[in-house]
Amino acid sequence: MTTRIKTLTTVSALLLAMALVTACGDTPKAASGNNPATANQGADQNGAAAVNGDHVKNNGESQEQQGSDNQGAGENGSTDGEASGNSANAGNGPDMAAASDVNSVAVLVNKEFALPDEYNPADLVYPNVRFTFKEKIEKRMMRSEAAKALEELFAGAEEDGIYLAGVSAYRSHKTQTSLFNRYVKRDGEEKAKTYSAVPGHSEHETGLAIDVSGSDGKCAAEDCFGDTKEAEWLAKHAAEYGFIIRYPEGKDSITGYKYEPWHIRYVGVEIASEIAEQGITLEEYYGAIPVTANP
């Protein structure tokens, strides 16, 4: 009898242990790096990572944004300099390493993240499109992939009876410094920062952004451009060619800049299409919000 009781007790103990193991199996798994918001939280514990000359510099105070940037680079490893905006991990969220790789067309440059000192794009070319000026000067240039896409965008617009013209594309660090200082002298630093970037933080320095207008040059880089047929066409079709309206209306609290319907930025068709479909900004795409820095 005693032996039978011991046997039943042993079986009961085993059944209880199995039940506990089953219950533990229902515990939620740790979120993977494919969730930008959760990835940021994990990376925060590691603090700010050192940034080398091939990556954008994080000049902000937000640990969340540092985590988002550095965590992505850590998981994906260093890039080979030929990363494209079309190479995002389809179905797995954005390629976070691309956000901090200055060689990628998907690099994130804003008030929070700056380009490395003395950065100069290595593949600048003159796109074969109409500009509001004749000279072959610096601001007519773009990186080669973006330049080719711009040519296709202009051709597509003309098929729809829309005639665009470039106003200002690439700017060197020196040019951006001179331009920003001029705006500060005219309007004061606080106001200048709402429409012009501190040197090192300008998308124009990447060679991937360009300000455009109609072929007549009217309303070039002015608010009235938003009411033109050219602006309407860009809003509807820019993403088809890999461009986004970088500073959309109503998103100034996220991007840090007022609405600029004339400023388009090349990121590649895949990313541009996703951003356009969701009605978000590049910051929201990468989960790098809010932009807390104010350089």
- Average pLDDT score over the chain: 77
The H or E element that residue 58 is part of is strand 57-58
Q: What is the mean pLDDT of residues 213-228?
A: 94
- What average pLDDT does range 77-88 have in this prediction? 38
Residue 58 pLDDT? 54
Q: What is the pLDDT of residue 280?
A: 97
CA atoms within 13 A on the CB side of 257: 27
- 44: enclosing H helix or E strand: helix 36-44
CATH class of 37-286: alpha beta
Q: What is the pLDDT of residues 148-168, one digit of tens each?
A: 999 999 999 999 999 999 999
Give how far the C-alpha of residue 214 lies from the chain's centroid of Cα atoms, to the nearest Å: 26
The confidence score (pLDDT) of residue 45 equals 35
91: CB partners within 8 A, 6+ apart: none
Residue 60, pLDDT above cutoff 80: no
What the block records as the tokens of 259 is: 């609405």
Give the integer Cα–Cα distance in Å for 269 and 88.
11
Token pair, residue 9, equals 């007790």
Cα separation values, 66 from 30, 52, 205, Å: 20, 14, 22
Can 240 be counted among the known catalytic residues? Answer: no
Structure pTM?
0.71
What pLDDT is recorded for position 55? Answer: 54
Contact 243, 208 (CB under 8 A): no
Torsion of CA 213, 231, 177, 126, to 10 degrees: -50
- pLDDT at 88 exceeding the cut of 50: no
Binning pLDDT at 50, 70 and 90, where does residue 90 land? very low
- Determine the average pLDDT of the residues in 121-132: 97
pLDDT class of 292 with cuts at 50, 70, 90:
low
- Check whether 76 has a pLDDT greater than 50: no
Rounded distance between C-alpha atoms, residue 208 and residue 265, angstroms? 6
Distance of CA 221 to the CA centre of its chain: 21
Beta carbons within 10 angstroms of residue 152's beta carbon: 13
Percent of the chain residues topping a pLDDT of 70: 67
pLDDT digits (tens, 9 = 90+) for 179-197: 999 999 999 999 999 999 9
CB 185 within 8 A of CB 192: no
Percent of the chain with pLDDT strictly greater than 90: 65
Torsion of CA 33, 38, 40, 46, to 10 degrees: -80
* pLDDT tens track for 14-57: 333 333 333 334 333 322 333 333 333 333 333 333 333 345 65
Q: Above 60 in pLDDT, residue 129?
A: yes
pLDDT reported for residue 293:
62
| pLDDT confidence band for 295 (50 / 70 / 90) | low
3-state DSSP assignment of residue 214: strand
pLDDT at 56: 63
**Sequence-ordered list of residues with C-beta below 8 angstroms from that of 140, at least 6 positions apart, any chain:** 126, 127, 131, 133, 166, 169, 170
Catalytic, out of 203, 230, 260, 283? 260
User: What does the alpha-carbon distance between residue 107 and residue 100 come to, in Å, rounded to a whole number?
Assistant: 6
